[in-house]
Chain A
């Protein structure tokens, strides 16, 4: 057993998990506090990636482009919230699913109208294009290591904001009992808009970091959106901690499954059967995981406490 390979794959799983976490955090926050199922979250990820790529072409600086994308997507998110989503809070989840599905169609076409259907050119910034030696024998792409770092920092920041600041307190209170919070004089509408904006910014962060290694094209958010939903369902809706744990678990299971399932099956079933079963099973793995978790804990691993 090549242990170095296993460690490297664990790093890969962690990095993928962190990427999922950035998306999941925003989504679970919005769902937990505003009780809003937002399918268009993947579209905000896409918008973040597009704006970052465009800004990079204008300014040539990855950092500037990143800041711009975050700020701009924050604004876009708040606009969407004010224009389209306000009336949906009282509606049931179905209406929200349909309306946000309509938003997905709109955003996909909108970026196609502005930037065309062809994938945009993106590349990792030169400073991060190299490798770092994590352990003797494991050279890991620097850019991906930065993603892990950024993700963990964001997780820490979110923890601090939610549990140590007034805003965080309002968020937690609003998740528990929004009527009471409104009755106490807090501007709930403003709170919601701000929270949604931050959720959008988190999605944009995921998008702008994913841009250089994935493909920037219309509809890029859909594939990852399903995986993000799996994460928040496993982790527990409304819980940031659940999002982090769920994301890392999903990231690890998916990555390790893709890497090691076929070789493992091969020793049991024989190589040609493993050739067929391996990939099929690997792609189903996170769904099987989710079904298993829901069977034993239908509320997810860390359900947010509701009043």
Chain B
């Protein structure tokens, strides 16, 4: 199914991630713990997006909205004194999944550029809504008084939080892998390749696509909940359409429809951004053409550059 070389490379990556906190502690550079944790959170969002974008061919430009919803689902209860992590994160998953369901129900009636625009439109609407609600900080945002409380698992400890995020990422990849290779995933991928044929065979592609859309939204919500915990801050700017663009860049850069590619893409994009912006104020003039080159010449993204062939 998957070549050994590829398998080993992926395991190697996992090993690196497992060891980052150890190395960071030894070298007395706790900053890298935070940096890698932030990247993994965006990787979770990117993997969720890949489900619908890479596998399903649904170019949703409004994905950042779900991160925002997840973020609000943590910060608002916290504002009113509800710190329980289980309650907050469940709310994040459920709320963003439901809203994705609603938005998807309307958006999936269109396709192509219209689909892109309508998902963008909904995200913009949520963003403008967020910045005008004064009670919850409007665009000033709000501080998160305490990270989500999980009893014995203390997220205030940077290391614990790191491993929680890593565990969630690995679990997500595992679930994603199962989903993509199960009947559900096969239908989605077949629908991307030739929807008319699928419908002719008798599949209700709309329902499958909607389900995938809702799942991706829920995953985005989880990422949002994690992001708020990471920055200990809530801001509606998490929902701005340029953020959606950035997550899309991570997916495409890493390799669409590869599940693991978006993780690579998140690392590449955010590390590059961090390094380049320290180097020059005009870092975007380098990043721009770099993106163009990757699109033109590295068709399967960074994942395609890894050793080994995939099944």
Direct chain A–B contact by Cβ atoms under 8 Å: yes
Which of A's residues lie within 8 Å of B, judged by CB?
31, 37, 84, 87-88, 91, 93-95, 97-99, 101-110, 112-113, 226, 229-230, 232-233, 237, 276, 279-280, 283-284, 287-288, 290-291, 294-295, 298-300
Q: Are B122 and A105 in contact (CB under 8 A)?
A: no
List the A residue with the shortest CB-CB distance to B246.
A101
B16 at the interface (CB under 8 A from A): no
Q: Are A98 and B113 in contact (CB under 8 A)?
A: no
B245 at the interface (CB under 8 A from A): yes
B183 at the interface (CB under 8 A from A): no
A sample of 29 cross-chain residue pairs with beta-carbon separation below 8 angstroms, ordered by A number, consists of A94-B53, A94-B252, A95-B252, A97-B59, A97-B248, A98-B252, A101-B245, A101-B249, A102-B287, A102-B289, A106-B285, A109-B288, A112-B282, A226-B241, A229-B117, A229-B120, A230-B121, A232-B113, A233-B114, A280-B132, A290-B121, A291-B106, A291-B118, A291-B121, A291-B122, A294-B114, A294-B117, A298-B110, A298-B114
Complex Cα distance A299/B111, Å? 9
List the B residue with the shortest CB-CB distance to A292.
B106
List the A residue with the shortest CB-CB distance to B282.
A109
Q: Are A280 and B129 in contact (CB under 8 A)?
A: yes
Q: Which residues of B contact A294 (CB under 8 A)?
A: 106, 109-110, 114, 117-118
Q: Are A279 and B132 in contact (CB under 8 A)?
A: yes
Which of B's residues lie within 8 Å of A, judged by CB?
53, 59, 106, 109-114, 116-118, 120-122, 124-125, 128-129, 132, 134, 241, 245, 248-249, 252-253, 256, 282, 284-285, 287-292, 295-296
Shortest distance in angstroms between B275's beta carbon and chain A's nearest beta carbon? 16
Residue of B53, B113, B125, B288 touching A105 (CB-CB under 8 A): B288
| A interface, over-half SS | helix
Residue among A98, A229, A276, A287 with the most chain B CB within 10 A? A98
Residue among B129, B245, B249, B291 with the most chain A CB within 10 A? B291
Q: Which residues of B contact A287 (CB under 8 A)?
A: 121-122, 124-125
| B interface, over-half SS | helix
Known pairs A284-B124, A290-B118; A106 contacts B252 (CB<8 A): no
Complex Cα distance A303/B308, Å? 45
Q: Which residues of B contact A110 (CB under 8 A)?
A: 285
Known pairs A103-B288, A109-B285; A98 contacts B110 (CB<8 A): no
Q: Which residues of B contact A101 (CB under 8 A)?
A: 245, 249, 291
Shortest distance in angstroms between B54's beta carbon and chain A's nearest beta carbon? 9
Complex Cα distance A295/B116, Å? 14
Complex Cα distance A49/B245, Å? 25
Q: Which residues of B contact A291 (CB under 8 A)?
A: 106, 118, 121-122
4 pairs of A and B residues whose beta carbons are closest in the complex = A102-B291, A106-B288, A105-B288, A109-B285
List the A residue with the shortest CB-CB distance to B111.
A298
Q: Are A105 and B284 in contact (CB under 8 A)?
A: yes
Complex Cα distance A127/B284, Å? 39
Complex Cα distance A59/B124, Å? 42
Q: Which residues of B contact A109 (CB under 8 A)?
A: 282, 284-285, 288
List the B residue with the shortest CB-CB distance to A96.
B295
Given contacts A95-B295, A232-B113, A283-B128, 8 further A-B contacts (CB under 8 A): A93-B59, A97-B116, A98-B295, A226-B241, A230-B117, A290-B121, A298-B109, A300-B114
Q: Which residues of A contact B252 (CB under 8 A)?
A: 94-95, 98
Complex Cα distance A291/B245, Å? 20
Complex Cα distance A288/B128, Å? 13
Shortest distance in angstroms between B247's beta carbon and chain A's nearest beta carbon? 12
Q: Are B128 and A280 in contact (CB under 8 A)?
A: yes
List the B residue with the shortest CB-CB distance to A222.
B242
Q: Are B120 and A237 in contact (CB under 8 A)?
A: no
Shortest distance in angstroms between B237's beta carbon and chain A's nearest beta carbon? 15
Shortest distance in angstroms between B25's beta carbon and chain A's nearest beta carbon? 36
Residue of A97, A113, A283 touching B282 (CB-CB under 8 A): A113
Q: Which residues of A contact B113 (CB under 8 A)?
A: 31, 37, 93, 229, 232-233, 237
Q: Which residues of B contact A298 (CB under 8 A)?
A: 109-111, 114
Q: Which residues of B contact A103 (CB under 8 A)?
A: 288, 292
Q: Which residues of A contact B284 (CB under 8 A)?
A: 105-106, 108-109
Q: Which residues of A contact B285 (CB under 8 A)?
A: 105-106, 109-110, 113
